[in-house]
Chain A
Amino acid sequence: MATAHSRAAARLTMSPAVILLLGWMLIPLVMTLYFSFLRYNLLMPGTEEFIGTLNYQYFLTDPAFFSALFNTLALVGGVLVLTIAGGIGLALLLDQPFWGRGIVRLLVIAPFFVMPTVSALVWKNMLMNPVNGLFAAIAKGLGLQPFDFLAEAPLSSIILIVTWQWLPFATLILLTALQSLDRERLEAAEMDGAGALDRFLHIILPHLARAMTVVTLIQTIFLLSVFAEILVTTNGGPGTATTNITYLVYAQSLLQFDVGGGSAGGIVAVVLANIVAVFLMRMIGRNLDI
């Protein structure tokens, strides 16, 4: 039984964390909201004035916004599908007994620890570069024309880079979940004549549902704000081909110094993220008991 004394102590011990987070969330958010109704450019100090919803009208009717929205969804969706599908495949593979399993496991999880700026630069220059990159060398060796990945398929290239970063995470979680599967059930199903596909669809996949939910949740949080990979590879280009919402707002505020317009974009990003969050939280509430 918690006493009144310990309740008070509990409230006291929780308050620093709650107050800090509340402050971190509310103060800047209120400021962003306020700026979003102003004409406010850092290059023209002293000209700030209230302009109502004009910033929003500009931001939401800007064609760059729609392509950024599409790019954001394509990036999140593409990476989620690839990492979960690839992660299930890899987990099934690494779950088999074979020689050197521990080492292969270390090799597979390694990309997760590589910082985004490093993986982006390594992929951009040393692998994907159409003149000096390794892929170009391989293509030439096979008598093919080198492909300029970041110029001709920029968004897909970034999806590939980000997938490489997150595949280890998905694999590791799905593998851990797979290892808690009751082997006897699989054997019993095999005895009853269930084929490999049947066993996968009706026993393994449902068992992995919870892990897939977790992977989706955590990756979405990080993937919605992919930034460094875009900054160091394409700067959002060519054109706006790889500009996601995060990058669009960054460009507007810190490259064009348009605080008002950038703030409106920031608020739009928050609203969009909240839509995704509500959806995700519901899914988690159903799949996890907390």
Chain B
Amino acid sequence: MARAATNRRMLVVTLIAWAVGIVIFFPILWTVLTSFKTESEAVATPPTFLAFHWTLENYSEVQQRSDYFLHFWNSVVISVGSTLLGLLVAVPAAWSMAFVPGKRTRDVLMWMLSTKMLPPVGVLIPIYLLFRDFGLLDSRIGLVIVLTLINLPIIVWMLFTYFREIPGEILEASRMDGAGLKEEILFVLLPMAVPGIASTLLLNIILAWNEAFWTLNLSASQSAPLTAFIASYSSPEGLFYAKLSAASTMAVAPILVLGWFSQKQLVRGLTFGAVK
């Protein structure tokens, strides 16, 4: 009796949960399906769900028309580059905040977080003009610099919360054994910190990949990452749903897969360890 009731309850919950999950996922599913349709089938009434003539035509056309691979590569360079550069600066900073906290460490951390609240438009004009004058507009290096700076506070915070959980006694023990600062970082801290650094890396690549204020405003064609590449599809010429879908699928797929793999670290990382 009890078991039958539990089973029935589980069946009901299963149905509701799957329905909700599919509704939330539906825009993505629909985009992926449409990307395999012909343009006329993409706007057919009533819409076709699975029984349509599947084609890969849109994908090759998107590549020909707007050079997807160039923009994909720009996205990779900008997101990975800015994250690595950020880690280079943030690892030492977070290390000292976690292991040699001073009286002002907490204030410095809060101040860093508060710089994230500075609205980007507050500095849009000077950055735009500086970029223009230094020839950095529409350059990958310019976008790497800006994304490094805007994500730096988040990187420091994430690393800080991971490092803080490494027991300090281990460092002291290694210091007693005569390890210098360099050995301490290289052989003791880094191996223990690798999981934290890896999740920080992953989450920041995702954030940088999807960043759509600076990339839209500071890039034109050559350095445009996928965010800006897709925005160029906002003024349609003729039939374009299937091509828009193919371009969207290609822009989202790599990071969606990465995101699914990182889902375990996501909560911890993005809430700076406040929710585990």
A residues with CB within 8 A of B: 2, 6-7, 9-11, 13-14, 16-18, 20-21, 24-25, 27-29, 31-32, 35, 90, 93-94, 96-101, 103-119, 121-127, 132, 134, 137, 140-141, 164, 167-169, 172-173, 176-177, 180, 210-211, 214, 218, 221, 224-225, 227-228, 231-232, 245-246, 249-250, 253-254, 259, 262-263, 265-267, 269-270, 273-274, 276-277, 280-281, 288, 290
Given known A259-B125, A270-B119, A274-B117, contact A111–B28 (CB-CB < 8 A): yes
B110 contacts which chain A residues (CB < 8 A)? 281, 290
Residue pairs across A and B with Cβ atoms less than 8 A apart, 8 shown, are: A10-B100, A21-B152, A32-B122, A106-B260, A113-B256, A114-B256, A117-B230, A231-B231
CA distance A60 to B206 in the complex (A): 37
B18 contacts which chain A residues (CB < 8 A)? 100, 104
**In contact, A108 and B271 (Cβ under 8 angstroms):** no
A-B contact count (CB 8 A): 296
**In contact, B24 and A27 (Cβ under 8 angstroms):** no
Which residue from B25, B233, B275 sits with its C-beta under 8 Å from A176? B275
Given known A17-B152, A115-B209, A254-B124, contact A121–B14 (CB-CB < 8 A): no
How many B residues have CB within 8 A of the partner chain? 93
**In contact, A245 and B21 (Cβ under 8 angstroms):** no
In chain B, what residue has the closest Cβ to A97?
B10
Which B residues between 225 and 276 are near A, CB-CB below 8 angstroms?
A: 226-228, 230-231, 233-234, 236, 241, 244-245, 248, 251-252, 255-256, 258-260, 263, 266-267, 270-271, 274-276
Smallest Cβ distance from A223 to chain B, in angstroms? Answer: 11
| Interface 9-mer from B56-64, B91-99, B193-201 | B91-99
In chain A, what residue has the closest Cβ to B112?
A21
In chain A, what residue has the closest Cβ to B47?
A137
**In contact, B227 and A119 (Cβ under 8 angstroms):** no
Smallest Cβ distance from B155 to chain A, in angstroms? Answer: 9
Q: Interface code B94-110, partner A: CB below 8 Å = 1, 0 otherwise?
A: 01110110100010111
Interface secondary structure of A, over-half rule: helix
A93 contacts which chain B residues (CB < 8 A)? 13, 16-17, 20
Which residue from A99, A121, A276 sits with its C-beta under 8 Å from B117? A276
CA distance A109 to B206 in the complex (A): 14
**In contact, A250 and B121 (Cβ under 8 angstroms):** yes
Smallest Cβ distance from B199 to chain A, in angstroms? Answer: 14
User: Would you call B55 an interface residue if the criterion is a C-beta within 8 Å of the partner chain's C-beta atoms?
Assistant: no
Given known A107-B21, A263-B125, A266-B124, contact A24–B10 (CB-CB < 8 A): no
Given known A221-B116, A266-B121, A269-B122, contact A20–B149 (CB-CB < 8 A): yes
**In contact, A221 and B248 (Cβ under 8 angstroms):** no
Which residue from B46, B100, B212 sits with its C-beta under 8 Å from A227? B212
B10 contacts which chain A residues (CB < 8 A)? 96-99
B275 contacts which chain A residues (CB < 8 A)? 173, 176-177, 210-211, 214
**In contact, B13 and A97 (Cβ under 8 angstroms):** yes
**In contact, B93 and A32 (Cβ under 8 angstroms):** no
Which residue from A18, A94, A115 sits with its C-beta under 8 Å from B210? A115
In chain A, what residue has the closest Cβ to B225?
A115
**In contact, B45 and A137 (Cβ under 8 angstroms):** yes
**In contact, A32 and B119 (Cβ under 8 angstroms):** no
CA distance A221 to B149 in the complex (A): 16
A104 contacts which chain B residues (CB < 8 A)? 17-18, 20-21
**In contact, A290 and B109 (Cβ under 8 angstroms):** yes
**In contact, A115 and B45 (Cβ under 8 angstroms):** no
Smallest Cβ distance from B233 to chain A, in angstroms? Answer: 6
Q: A17-B90, A21-B112 are in contact. List 14 more A-B contacts (CB 8 A).
A: A14-B93, A16-B92, A25-B118, A32-B122, A110-B24, A114-B210, A124-B234, A126-B34, A126-B244, A164-B24, A172-B266, A246-B119, A266-B121, A266-B123
